[in-house]
Structure 1
Amino acid sequence: MSTKRFSKIVGSGSYIPTVQVKNEHFLNHDFFEPNGKKIETPNEEIIEKFKDITGITERKYAATDQQNSDLAYIAASRALESSGIDKESLDYILVAHNFGDVKPDSTLTNQLPCLAAKVKNLLQIENPQTVAYDILFGCPGWIQAMIQANYFIKSGDAKRVMVIGAETLSRVCDPHDRDSMIYADGAGATILEACEAEEESGILSHAMRTDTKNEAFFLRADVSDNIDFEGNSNNLFIKMHGHKIYEYVISNVPQLVKESIEKAGLGLNDIKKVLIHQANEKMDEAIAKRLFRLYGERKVPEDIMPMIIKKMGNNSVATVPILYDMIAKGELEGHEFETGDNLIFASVGAGMSINAFVYKV
């Protein structure tokens, strides 16, 4: 039997910022509707409703002396350490993000040079053949970079690719928008390596889609909901149509995840874990229910979809690689991977875009 070339994760690392921001932090905020009208509902009620819907009780922010590239570098360093490989042997460094480096006192983004180049510089990699570039694909950016890395490896163009997801959403959220309570910071990294064996493992299949006719601006950049906010003249904040996003997600994500499972020649019962982007706990629970109903199943196993949103918030492209790293290193109670397990990695976000891949440990 001939051998097959496939992509295997040989190292992972993550960085969870140390600044803890609990829901009580928002008690003194003045919240406004998108039309500029001040919300008169007491903040205690707003925060309690927010927690009931999203599951979030706290989130982590980067320290004031850190930028996104710093978070990415720490996660990358930890991935290299866990893999034991020579950093000079990397063929590519791919960094997924949405806003580049953003200082604490401004929403101005800095993407020159690209974050991947900054990470390569911080790692002090001398090899000019280690090509470094960024990917902008909304919250699904890290998964999209993994899909690209898999293509590089399977084509024979690369042997080792580092894939990083890093974001500081706390720097681009409107302090007068209730949705600002969702956002958080963090970074996760993995190293994919080419392997050859008779039985394929690693990334088995993927699926992806982008819908823009009516959905392109469900997530967008815009001025503060407070029309008198003094920073409106030179700041744009992340904004979203939450209800429209929810409807889009539960209508399309389960079907795309099913497509990726079918492409791998597997059934739902073959899947051990679903590692999914987390912005809203109830939304992810709805995704799981609809996925199982597509297979005629009514009961969703309690441990199939590990959740970290309660303490992490939504850290965008960093969520899924952080989740993987935590489980791989035994840091998430009640969850583990074993050789031969089939995992689903999935995400959805600005674009609107959805993607997923099936991975055999």
Structure 2
Amino acid sequence: MIGSRLLGSGSALPRRVVTNDELAARVDTSDEWIVERTGIRQRYIAGEGETTATLATDAARAALADCGLGPADIDIIVLATATPDNTFPATATKVQHALGCNGGIAFDVAAVCSGFLYALCVADSMLRTGMGRRALVIGAETFSRILDWSDRTTCVLFGDGAGAVVLEAQGEASEGDKAPGVLATRLHADGASHDLLYVDGGPSTTQTVGHLRMKGREVFRHAVVNLSDVLKEVLEEAKVSAEDIDWVVPHQANARILDATAKKLGIPREKVIVTVHEHANTSAASVPLAFDTARRDGRIKPGDLVMFEAMGGGFTWGASLVRL
């Protein structure tokens, strides 16, 4: 098997919705300030009994139901997260057990907001080399647990959630046709930018979980440049133009980044899936969560050419072109 195609998707959100006005009662901010600078109006926050693993499991179950498959049909689980339930074992193994598909491959990928794209590429590569027939690729986060809730510059930006897709191995499409599949992926990282977006804790350094720290203005500048460049790389590799893309599903970090990136590439705003106003930044969950939202409301349809893109702490960034 030398290719993979996307069979279905699912997502999950915590029960609790937190509006900007609710946050404004806790820190020095306002709904107007948050919306103007980020486009965010609300976010979902995990409560008691809700963890990265439970959200990931619910999203995985929804994705399996979407394509009519069961746990026994899954050979590989790759879970992207920066907020695992435990330092180890991998949260993917908890999802595997909860689903009841023990015995296959299950592991986590840590690339923060780009994590889903890294996980998608890893799963696609494994299917292409015959490691399995079908894979669950999940992005799941509970970023609310690593936020400094007294820091208005960061705590208003993030939310919790999960999204998942099912990939299936297939034969390679012949050149020039429009068969479904993962067509091209490019990934990058630059550790020199570590101090612009990071968590100030870890088991090997402080023996604590730590809190998220970010220099927003610098992150914005890097995001627009890096995302524009990697999107061009993927278009060149797939031998398609920006005009050929039906939908762009970006990491939902900030509405201004989404607008600036689309403008730089000449992609119409109406082709960009935007859910940041509803979900805020859910890190590795944001791309699959936005994708599932747009599939279920009928915007994204079979046969569409869809571009995924994201950038996160590290920095890591990447893009993937998929024909549904």
Confirm whether residue 207 of structure 1 aligns to residue 177 of structure 2: no
> In terms of Rg, which structure is larger?
1
Mapped partners of 2:200, 2:33: distance in 1: 25
> What are the Cα deviations for residues 267-310 of structure 1, in whole angstroms up to 9, with x where unaligned?
11111111000111011100111122xxxxxxx42321010011
Provide the TM-score with structure 2 as the length reference.
0.92
Q: For residue 111 of structure 1, report the CA deviation from its aligned partner.
A: 2.9
Q: Is the 1:6–1:201 contact (alpha carbons within 8 Å) kept by the matching residues of 2? A: no
> What are the Cα deviations for residues 24-73 of structure 1, in whole angstroms up to 9, with x where unaligned?
11223345xxxxxxxxxxx34xx422220101111111222211100000
Between 139-148 and 61-70, report the one with greater CA deviation.
Answer: 61-70
* Cα distance, 1:318–1:235 mapped onto 2, change above 3 Å: closer
Aligned residue in 2 for 1:99? 83
| Greater share of residues in helix | 2
Mapped partners of 1:115, 1:302: distance in 2: 36
Q: For residue 219 of structure 1, report the CA deviation from its aligned partner.
A: 1.0
Q: For residue 112 of structure 1, report the CA deviation from its aligned partner.
A: 2.4
Q: For residue 208 of structure 1, report the CA deviation from its aligned partner.
A: 1.5
Mapped partners of 1:151, 1:62: distance in 2: 32
Aligned residue in 1 for 2:263? 289
> What are the Cα deviations for residues 177-228 of structure 1, in whole angstroms up to 9, with x where unaligned?
1110111000001110012354453111111111122x122111238xxxxx
Q: Is the 1:255–1:291 contact (alpha carbons within 8 Å) kept by the matching residues of 2? A: no
Mapped partners of 1:264, 1:57: distance in 2: 36
Residues 11-160 of structure 1 aligned to structure 2 (within 5 Å): 11-30=8-27, 43-44=29-30, 47-101=31-85, 110-126=86-102, 128=103, 130-160=104-134
> What are the Cα deviations for residues 92-119 of structure 1, in whole angstroms up to 9, with x where unaligned?
1011000212xxxxxxxx2322100000
Confirm whether residue 342 of structure 1 aligns to residue 318 of structure 2: no
Aligned residue in 2 for 1:227? none
Mapped partners of 1:131, 1:353: distance in 2: 24
Aligned residue in 2 for 1:217? 195
Aligned residue in 2 for 1:191? 166
| 5+ long unaligned stretches in structure 1 | 32-42, 102-109, 224-231, 293-299
Q: For residue 235 of structure 1, report the CA deviation from its aligned partner.
A: 5.7
Aligned residue in 1 for 2:155? 180
Aligned residue in 2 for 1:226? none
Q: Is the 2:249–2:309 contact (alpha carbons within 8 Å) kept by the matching residues of 1? A: yes
Q: Is the 2:14–2:50 contact (alpha carbons within 8 Å) kept by the matching residues of 1? A: no
The alignment's C-alpha RMSD in Å is: 1.9
Aligned residue in 1 for 2:3? 6
Mapped partners of 1:258, 1:235: distance in 2: 37
Report percent identity of matched pairs. Answer: 30
Which letter does structure 2 place at the counterpart of 1:118? Answer: K
> What are the Cα deviations for residues 4-41 of structure 1, in whole angstroms up to 9, with x where unaligned?
8421111211002220100111223345xxxxxxxxxx
SS in structure 2 opposite 1:274? strand
Mapped partners of 1:136, 1:234: distance in 2: 18
Mapped partners of 2:237, 2:295: distance in 1: 25
Confirm whether residue 308 of structure 1 aligns to residue 275 of structure 2: yes
Q: For residue 245 of structure 1, report the CA deviation from its aligned partner.
A: 0.3
Mapped partners of 1:154, 1:124: distance in 2: 25
